[in-house]
Chain A
Amino acid sequence: MERPSLPFFYEPSTRTRTSFEIAAKRLSADTINIAASTSSYVKGETLKDTAKTLEAMKPDVTIIRHSMPGAPHMLARFVDSSVINGGDGAHEHPTQALLDLFTMREKKGTLDGLKIVIIGDIIHSRVARSNIFALRHFDAEIVCCGPPTMLPPHLEDLGVQPEHNLEKAVRNADVIMMLRIQKERGGVAYIPSIKEYSTMFGLRKEHVNKAKKDVIVMHPGPMNRGVEIMDDVADGPSSVILDQVENGVAVRMAVLYLLLGREI
């Protein structure tokens, strides 16, 4: 890869950005990282113009993280290079879902027949959406758990079973995926208080004990310890949270490799 890929972040991101940068570097690609706070965005330039400007520098791949749904799709209309969605608002986070499924399969051998429970602020979660879209391709049971205000209507249409009781939701689960409350998307207004949320939907050891013995606990990060997940779970034997991070680099390397037309 002679030409650079251009990560481009319109929303704060540490994990995803670093992961993409390391992935690109391991493939010997040059990367340039432009964050929204330092870009022309803050000077009032539109995404379209920023996209065209970046395009003029002829990157192979542009990776975008943006707070608004559909921004990568818009970018893709204006540039010729490949565009990777690094997370767009409450819409999608496709590489996160890929690394999550990769991790599940790594630990479980298969995705078929698994009971996968996603818990938290589903309505605002791009991670939940992308995971649901991906998991629908497999014969897995998908349960979404959270307070009614955080579960969007029509979830059943996607083959997802909504559940409001955490204890019931985790029973016999193979995979528990915790999500944080999306404060930046107004998530806090959907619950009376963080304290009450934590009492009702925070994952504790006793919940993990109700799941299958070999359950894995996942979290896309960043975690709010003591809110949606307790220390003893986050750092406990079932946690694969750091494996997710590690796998993220490999999966993103694969995505970049394939997008650049290399064959495996």
Chain B
Amino acid sequence: MSILIKNGRVIDPRSGLDGILDVFINGDLIEEIGRPLSRGGKGVEVIDAGGHIVAPGLIDVHAHLREPGYEWKETIRTGTMAAVKGGFTGIACMANTNPVNDNKSVTDYIVTKARSEGMCRVFPCGAITKNLKGEELAEIGEMVEAGIRAVSDDGKSVKNSGILRKALEYAKLFNIPVISHCEDEDLSRGYVHEGRASLLSGLDAVPGIAEEIIVRRDITIAAYVDSPIHLTHISTAGSVNAIRQAKKNYKEITCDTCPHYFSITDEATLGFDTSTKVNPPLRSRDDVEAITEGLRNNTIDMIATDHAPHEDTSKDVEFDIATFGISGLETALALSLGLVHQGVLTLHELFRKLTINPAKLLGLPYGEVKAGKTADIIVFNPGIEWTVDKNSFFSKGKNTPFHGRKLKGKNLLTIVDGKIAYRDPSFKG
């Protein structure tokens, strides 16, 4: 089976390639890029990408697939369907499943399930500590053997600095990143950002420093033991500032933010709409500006979704007791393209943060459109306007604060491992 993608503007942020080119895919590999390529004929599917952009498939370092254990919220099947619709060809899934992915049998289960039912690549992320309790190291080595590409206790910080130190030292042995959720729980007993909006709503609030304090602590420990650290879903001006300063002295720091931290502010929580309840919380206008600036000046290396699908019944309750999380895979590309539309990033800069940088973090040979590389490719159009309709999500999680919002930029076609995994109904190419 071969595919010829013709007439598209091909971009490859790693090499800087940018031009109207044809891409010939043979089997699972990109065989040739050039123009014109006369590779038509029997057994070749020809796709006309004229007027659209051909780019590496997006890679998400932070998603929740909920399987095993919470299949009513999401499954590997539905989560990866949402992923390919959104333009992702590979996603890392966090360990807070039930049972927790803290041992190789759970990793095995996820890997096997993803192979048979997944629509895209799934990179399991193992727990740092057993049962995410922050007390004893999980069997990281065995999980690496089974296929994890990172470790994280996402959902909480490893509270015990001594345990975090050991995790950072130990993970280095396997060349996998430690992904840190930064939250000082003693300061964060709340549901929204502490600021003017929380004063108005009376909701219990989390100050920005709850994140910044742990960002600083984690960097300090990582630098001391000379291990790489990745700080995930960074949301505050203070964190961006701390990371920017720290990167000058210590190179092994990377971080990501999520589209909701540069697209909306805590003002969105004023109507008590539980789809705006997320952890870390939506922040103030100043934070949003700092995050945007951090993306522009490369303090923030990549964009992750923190796709956190939930069933409606867990959100159709009082704000205090609603679940935290936003279903993000199907809006991430368009929201991120907003940065290009606003002139914050060039298309190449944005795609670095969505493809090659996440691939590098997870040690993956993906994220490039280049002859000889695996054919994980998308065709999208940054100019197509569409209105977010949560009811049309492939994800089981309809929890989005962007429902009804008009966005610009749409994924049209997703190719994973040389096979078409998603084609938008509107795409006639």
Contacts and interface: CB of A to CB of B under 8 A. Distances in A.
Interface in B186-209: 194-196, 198-204
Q: Which of A48, A66, A68, A91 has the most CB of B within 10 A?
A: A68
Q: Looking at chain B, what size class is its interface with the partner chain?
A: 10 to 19
Contacts of B199: 152-155, 157-158
B272 A74 contact: yes
A24 to B, nearest CB: 25
B316 A91 contact: no
Interface in A135-169: 152-155, 157-158
Secondary structure at the A interface, as helix, strand, loop or mixed, is: mixed
Contacts of A88: 202
Interface in A55-72: 66, 68-71
Contact of A89 (B196, B317, B320): B320
Contact of A68 (B195, B196, B198, B319): B319
Interface in B23-52: none
Interface residues of A, number: 23
A69 B201 contact: yes
Interface in B267-293: 271-272
B320 A73 contact: no
A48 B320 contact: no
B318 interface: yes
Given A47-B318, A91-B203, A73 B196 contact: no
A73 B318 CA distance: 9
B249 interface: no
A90 B202 contact: yes
Interface string A188-211: 000000000000000000000000
A185 to B, nearest CB: 9
Contacts of A154: 195-196, 199
B321 interface: yes
B202 A89 contact: yes
Contacts of A152: 198-199
Contacts of B201: 69-70, 91
The 7 lowest CB-CB distance pairs between A and B, nearest first, are A70-B272, A91-B202, A90-B202, A68-B318, A68-B320, A69-B202, A154-B196
Interface of B: 194-196, 198-204, 271-272, 313, 316-321
8 contacts: A69-B319, A70-B203, A88-B202, A89-B203, A129-B200, A154-B196, A155-B199, A157-B196
Interface of A: 46-48, 66, 68-71, 73-74, 88-92, 126, 129, 152-155, 157-158
